[in-house]
A and B are shown apart, each in its own frame.
Chain A
Amino acid sequence: MAALSIHTKDLTKKYSGKTIFKNISFELSSGDSAVIVGRNGSGKSTLMKIIAGIISPSSGTMSFMNNGNKVEFHDVKRKLGFVSPYLNLYDELSAIENLRLFSGLKSDSAAGDEGLVSLLELTGLADRRNDEVKTYSSGMKQKLKIAFAMLNEPELLMLDEPRSNLDKSGIETMERIAEMQKGKGILIIATNDEDDLKLCSKRINIEEHK
């Protein structure tokens, strides 16, 4: 099993002089699962974006280790899966074209269509794989985001409000994926949903860092 770990120290984010959160420190290793909680607008998504490397913290440090050796973020990025309300895939491309594109960008050897179709089967989108994403419902788009996050078997899976717009089967799939992730890497969920809280063993409460 891979042994990726995340180490953050005193992460602080400010926007226009206003402190969103301050001094968040935690460590997560492979097999760990953590839930980030806090009221709406407290900065859960902001913290998720910082961990995913999409935005930078105002201060504080974050590092990744693999089997005790420091790894650069661009190497971690290849093994990172991220679902977020602020992350959309291309409406004008089909589901399979989106997955082909991002699989090709993430990896030296892009997954063949078989692997991509199996991801779409897992999320219940295989029948609509050749349809442009703009014809999808919001729930189907959320399922596609989950398939996108699962590309290249992520060692770090980050789910921001993962239940958004999902139907019962979609929620079951998401929960199954989350359970599987705990056995092979790190799982981080940002949510206030009680059912999501049960999926994770550690808790990071943003309200304690205001």
Chain B
Amino acid sequence: MKSRFLNNVKLVFLKDIRSELRTRYVINSLLMFVLVTISIIRFAIGDEKLEDELLTGLLWIAVFFSASGGLSRTFVKEEEKETSAALKLTAGPAEIFTGKLLFNLVLTFVLNFFILVLFILITGYTIKNPGLFMVVMSLGNIGLVAASTIIAAIISKANSKGTLYPVLSFPVLLPLLLTVINATKLASAGIDTKEIAGEFLILVSYNAVVVTVSLMLFPFVWED
């Protein structure tokens, strides 16, 4: 039973990777979005040296809007192309959700790598505790992806798909964003790990709650 679950998760994940590599349905538009966003930030700040606190906020604005542009497409594409029925007939809801969650995680991590490299090159953003910074960014990304994936599933069933994502995601992601921006700011300032234990705990708890609730909620969303 367990191996069947893992096998089907892998099949859904690999299907999404293969589809994305062939169609560039999401990645091309997201890379352009990242390039435009980072360019605008560069033009806006000019030769000024912004404080790292402010840059952290700008970094997460770029991450959040890039993710919201791409992650919301996961299930919308299945509904628009009428492929969801074939998936429903062959795989369980938990398998489909987990496979798509993993795909979104990979997509977001790749995307954020580009965002971070470009952001550092263009703004001169300094990270004094890189290890802690990467852990915080990873936890933030997991929370962002988990919440976005279930919201994507919900909006795929709605008529006004485009407008619903920001409306639904803002209240769900607000606690995550507030915590992760603060933790990123502290990590980039080189603070010691034990001093952000509180933020760390909130991020881990948020991720655990969102993933668990999503897995419980998804069958009701997916199976009409």
- Residues of A at the B interface (CB closer than 8 Å) are 49, 52-56, 74, 77, 80, 82, 84, 86-93, 97, 101-102, 104-106, 108, 132, 148
Contact = CB atoms under 8 A, between A and B. Distances in A.
A92 B77 CA distance: 12
Interface residues of B, number: 24
B74 to A, nearest CB: 14
5 contacts: A54-B85, A56-B224, A87-B85, A89-B83, A105-B87
A80 B83 contact: no
A77 B90 contact: yes
B19 A87 contact: no
A52 to B, nearest CB: 6
Contacts of B89: 52-54, 77, 80, 82, 87
A56 B223 CA distance: 7
B224 A92 contact: no
A90 B224 contact: no
Interface string B68-92: 0000000000000111011111111
A87 B87 CA distance: 9
Q: Majority SS of interface residues in chain B? A: helix
Nearest to A88: B82
A49 to B, nearest CB: 8
Contact of B19 (A90, A104, A105, A106): A90
Given A55-B224, A56-B223, A56-B224, A89 B7 contact: no
A93 B19 contact: yes
Nearest to A102: B90
Interface of B: 4, 7-8, 11-12, 15, 18-19, 22-23, 81-83, 85-92, 95, 223-224
Given A53-B88, A101-B11, 13 more contacts: A52-B89, A53-B223, A54-B88, A55-B223, A77-B90, A86-B85, A87-B82, A87-B86, A89-B83, A89-B86, A92-B19, A93-B15, A97-B18
Contacts of A88: 81-83, 85-86
- Which of A56, A88, A105, A148 gathers most chain B CB within 10 Å? A105
Contacts of A92: 18-19, 22-23
- Nearest 8 interchain pairs by C-beta: A105-B90, A87-B85, A88-B82, A55-B224, A92-B22, A105-B91, A106-B90, A102-B90
